[in-house]
Chains A and B, each alone.
Chain A
Amino acid sequence: MGKLTNQIIKYTVLIIFALIALTPIVIMWMAALKSSSEIFKDPFALPTVLHWENLVKAWTVGRFRQYLGNTLLITIPTVAAVVSLSCLAGYAFGKLKFTGSKAVFFIFLLGLMVPFQSIMIPLYYGLRDLKLLGSLWAMILPATALGLPFGIFLMQAFFHGLPAELADAARVDGCDEFNVFLKIMLPLAGPAVSTLIVFQFMWTWNAFLMPLLFLNRETLRPIALGLMFFSGRYTTNYGLMAAGVTLTTLPLIMIYIIFQRQFMRGLTAGALKG
Chain B
Amino acid sequence: MAIDTIHKKHRNTSLIKWIRQNKAGYLFILPALIVYAIFFIYPFFGSIYLSLTDWNGVNPQKIFVGIDNYVQMINDSLMWKSLYHNIIWVIIGTLAPIIIGLILAVLLWSKNTKGRNLFRTIYFMPVVLSPVVVGIIWGWVYNPIYGMLNRALDIIGLGNLSRGWLGDPDLALFMVLIAAIWSYFGFCLVIFLAGLQSVEMELFDAAKIDGANSWQQFINVTVPQLSHVLTMIIAYTMIGGFNIFDIVFIMTEGGPANSTELIATYTYKQSFQLNSVGYGAALSMAMTFLSLVASVIFLKLREKGEA
Contacts and interface: CB of A to CB of B under 8 A. Distances in A.
A198 B80 CA distance: 38
Contact of B292 (A93, A114, A205): A114
A88 interface: yes
Contacts of A263: 124, 128
A111 B239 CA distance: 13
Contacts of A178: 24
A21 B126 contact: yes
Given A21-B126, A108-B36, A231-B136, A177 B18 contact: no
Contacts of B190: 264, 267-268
Contacts of B295: 112-113
Most chain A CB within 10 A, of B43, B100, B239, is at B43
B47 interface: yes
B15 to A, nearest CB: 12
B243 A25 contact: no
B28 A17 contact: no
B182 interface: yes
Given A13-B107, A14-B104, A145-B40, A27 B232 contact: no
A218 to B, nearest CB: 16
A120 B26 contact: no
B232 A271 contact: yes
Given A28-B137, A88-B28, A142-B39, A39 B130 contact: no
B39 A152 contact: no
B127 to A, nearest CB: 9
B122 A177 contact: no
Contact of A111 (B40, B57, B141, B277): B40
A31 B140 CA distance: 11
Given A89-B28, A92-B25, A118-B288, A271 B191 contact: yes
Contacts, number: 261
A54 interface: no
Contacts of A245: 133, 136-137
B272 A213 contact: yes
Interface residues of A, number: 91
A219 interface: no
Interface string A100-123: 010010011001111111111111
B191 A148 contact: no
Contact of B284 (A20, A42, A99, A118): A118
A215 interface: no
A24 B29 CA distance: 45
Contacts of A99: 18, 21-22
Contacts of A89: 28-29, 31-33
A70 interface: no
A111 B43 contact: no
Contacts of B272: 124, 213
Interface in A230-261: 231, 238, 241, 245, 248-249, 252-253, 255-257, 260
Contacts of B281: 121-122
Most buried by B among A96, A111, A124: A96
Interface in A1-41: 6, 10, 13-14, 17-18, 20-25, 27-28, 31, 39-40
Contacts of B47: 118-119, 121-122
A37 to B, nearest CB: 10
Interface stretch (A55-63, A188-196, A220-228): A220-228
A24 B128 contact: no
Nearest to A17: B104
B62 to A, nearest CB: 10
23 contacts: A21-B122, A21-B123, A25-B126, A25-B137, A81-B35, A98-B22, A104-B29, A114-B291, A117-B264, A117-B284, A118-B284, A119-B43, A121-B281, A146-B40, A148-B35, A148-B36, A177-B28, A209-B249, A225-B132, A245-B133, A267-B187, A271-B233, A272-B195
Across the A-B interface, the 8 shortest Cβ-Cβ residue pairs: A122-B46, A98-B25, A206-B130, A145-B39, A92-B28, A268-B194, A122-B43, A119-B43
Given A98-B25, A206-B130, 14 more contacts: A21-B186, A27-B140, A88-B29, A107-B41, A112-B295, A114-B291, A118-B287, A121-B43, A121-B47, A121-B280, A122-B49, A123-B39, A126-B43, A253-B125
Interface of B: 18, 21-22, 24-26, 28-29, 31-33, 35-36, 38-44, 46-47, 49-50, 57, 100, 103-104, 107-108, 110, 113, 119-126, 128-133, 136-138, 140-141, 145-148, 151, 182, 185-187, 190-191, 194-195, 198, 214, 228-229, 232-233, 239, 242-243, 245-246, 249-250, 264, 267-268, 271-272, 277, 280-281, 284-285, 287-288, 291-292, 295, 302
